[in-house]
Amino acid sequence: HGKPQIKINGKVYDEHPEYTNVSSTVLNLSDRSLHLKPAHPVGILRKQIEDKLNSTSNSFQLYNNFRPVVTVEENFDSLGFPQDHPGRSKSDTYYVNDKHLFRTHTSAHEVECFGNIQEFCPKVTSKTPTEKPGFLITADVYRRDEIDRTHYPVFHQMEGARVWRRSAEKCADGQEPLHIQKMRHDLAKLEKQLREESGNLVVQDDVSLEGNPKQSYMSDLEVDLCSQHLKRSIELLVAQVFNKKLESMGCKKSEAEFQVRWIKAYFPWTTPSWEIEVFWQGEWLELCGCGVVREQLLLNAGYDKDSTIGWAFGLGLDRIAMLLFEIPDIRLFWTQDERFHSQFREGQITKFKPYSKYPGTTRDVAFWLPQTQEASTLSPIHENDIMEIVREEAGDMVESVKLIDQFTHPKTNKKSFCYRINYQSMDRNLTNNEINEIQENVRRELVQKYNVSLR
């Protein structure tokens, strides 16, 4: 009776007729907390980065237990996402109802965590105050996306942030303001550590701020010091992770240079903003978005105007963990198979040894879209909806789904699509019968949910 409801991690939410689109796949994955498992690749990597970033001056409060359902306000509004930002769409995001969703990034917790920094946030009496001027948040994040060996509806991010309180007064006897001295001191310490530990790191950094504006409440010097501290912090963590890998591959640090580059970026709640890429096995790999935090975000967290400057970054952990541990398919992170888990040890980066490669089987599904949406109350189909149906029916028995053909009939204008589904399990052989059954279910769901005509 009453409204339909969903229970997630012990909390009950009302469903919403238009918004609710969480799948049972996602619900089932939402209490796994892989990042907390000390001998899981994602957990090992998380710990390593936390230790490294806190090794300089132990400035980061750790948050690793935030629940995955947050408000639209926390995930988008508080960060300044415009109303029409594509990230908000139901085709990209899992909504619980019109006000709650599965966080799409760890930035959803920035305002709360900035608000916990007591010294900087005098007006707010946080229930969980911290003395530290920075924080690291690691959590599972959720996005509706394609299906292949590197995409999974749940992955992991680490958010990092650091602030400095500005000292308004000019110092006597020609000295620089206290916070500038402090920032210079913090930066110098970081640079020294970076030189000592990562002499083999080659950095391409175009420091020009053209098209990447600074905020007017900050001086050029403040922007420069804050940006440098941000970049050196990320370089330190990237160097640590990749040097560990190079070492485990038998390379001597002094001989193995590796390259990173900084690229201008855009995020609604930071400016200037960047992304860092690392050159690894012949490719530039995007690792992390970051920037100088917009003052509006700090004001949202309860800070006084003009009082504080700071930076933030968001780092994707799964791709890095796949590369470090040489894991060929992201689904392996989620397997319960002991042959996977028994291979990893707390604190160690080791190469994954595939226990077996089970053969895959492909099946195609081709269909006409309903001619017009007019007579239908069903929503138009998005590619991610097809992915979702396959995930729901096949679970981790699907390796990838690819659009292999698409055309429009010249006379009727009807659109046809053909998707190729590769069924393959990481843990066992699949029988033809079970694949046929899944395939039939996928076909039936496509018709029932989206009124397509199968071909």
Identity of the residue, 274 or 367, whose beta carbon is nearer to ligand PHE in the bound complex: 274
Cα separation of 439 and 433, whole Å?
10
- Is residue 93 close enough to count as binding ligand PHE by CB under 6 A? no
Shortest Å, Cβ 159 to ligand PHE: 6
Cα separation of 289 and 268, whole Å?
12
Angle at 55 between CA 54 and CA 58, to 5 degrees: 45
For 17-91, where are the E strands, in sequence order?
Answer: 60-63, 69-71
Give the closest residue to 440 by CA, choosing from 363, 382, 378.
363
Cα separation of 336 and 75, whole Å?
30
Cα separation of 67 and 69, whole Å?
6
For residue 395, the number of C-alpha atoms closer than 13 Å in the C-beta half-sphere is 13
Identity of the residue, 270 or 439, whose beta carbon is nearer to ligand PHE in the bound complex: 270
- Is residue 68 close enough to count as binding ligand PHE by CB under 6 A? no
Q: Which of 43, 310, 314, 370 binds ligand PHE (CB under 6 A)?
A: 314
Cα separation of 100 and 102, whole Å?
7
Kindly list the distances between the CA atom of residue 272 and the CA atoms of 98, 159, 212, 223, 225, in Å, as whole numbers in the listed order.
32, 17, 5, 9, 13
Q: Which of 270, 271, 307, 424 binds ligand PHE (CB under 6 A)?
A: 270
Shortest Å, Cβ 356 to ligand PHE: 35
Single-letter amino acid code for the residue at 68: P
Number of residues that bind ligand PHE (CB under 6 A): 11
Shortest Å, Cβ 144 to ligand PHE: 15
Cα separation of 67 and 73, whole Å?
15
Shortest Å, Cβ 224 to ligand PHE: 18
- Is residue 78 close enough to count as binding ligand PHE by CB under 6 A? no
Q: Which of 312, 320, 327, 397 binds ligand PHE (CB under 6 A)?
A: 312
Cα separation of 24 and 222, whole Å?
48
Identity of the residue, 134 or 291, whose beta carbon is nearer to ligand PHE in the bound complex: 291
- Is residue 272 close enough to count as binding ligand PHE by CB under 6 A? no
Identity of the residue, 155 or 417, whose beta carbon is nearer to ligand PHE in the bound complex: 155
Give the containing element (helix H, strand E) for 308.
Answer: strand 308-316
According to DSSP, the residues that pair with 408 across neighbouring strands are 415
Identity of the residue, 110 or 222, whose beta carbon is nearer to ligand PHE in the bound complex: 110
According to DSSP, the residues that pair with 8 across neighbouring strands are 11
Identity of the residue, 261 or 449, whose beta carbon is nearer to ligand PHE in the bound complex: 261
Cα separation of 269 and 293, whole Å?
6
- Is residue 340 close enough to count as binding ligand PHE by CB under 6 A? no
Shortest Å, Cβ 289 to ligand PHE: 3
- Is residue 310 close enough to count as binding ligand PHE by CB under 6 A? no
| Residue 175 CA to its chain's centroid (Å) | 42
- Is residue 271 close enough to count as binding ligand PHE by CB under 6 A? no
Shortest Å, Cβ 202 to ligand PHE: 24
Measured from each CB, the residue nearest to ligand PHE is 314
Q: Which of 42, 69, 121, 290 binds ligand PHE (CB under 6 A)?
A: 290
Q: Are 435 and 388 in contact (CB under 8 A)?
A: no
Shortest Å, Cβ 98 to ligand PHE: 22
Shortest Å, Cβ 290 to ligand PHE: 5
Give the closest residue to 104 by CA, choosing from 50, 62, 154.
154
Cα separation of 19 and 89, whole Å?
10
Q: Which stretch binds ligand PHE (CB under 6 A): 125-133, 188-196, 310-318, 430-438?
A: 310-318
Please give the residues from 106 up to 165 whose contact with ligand PHE meets the rule CB under 6 A: 107, 159
Shortest Å, Cβ 285 to ligand PHE: 15
Interface positions with ligand PHE (CB under 6 A): 105, 107, 159, 267, 270, 289-291, 312-314
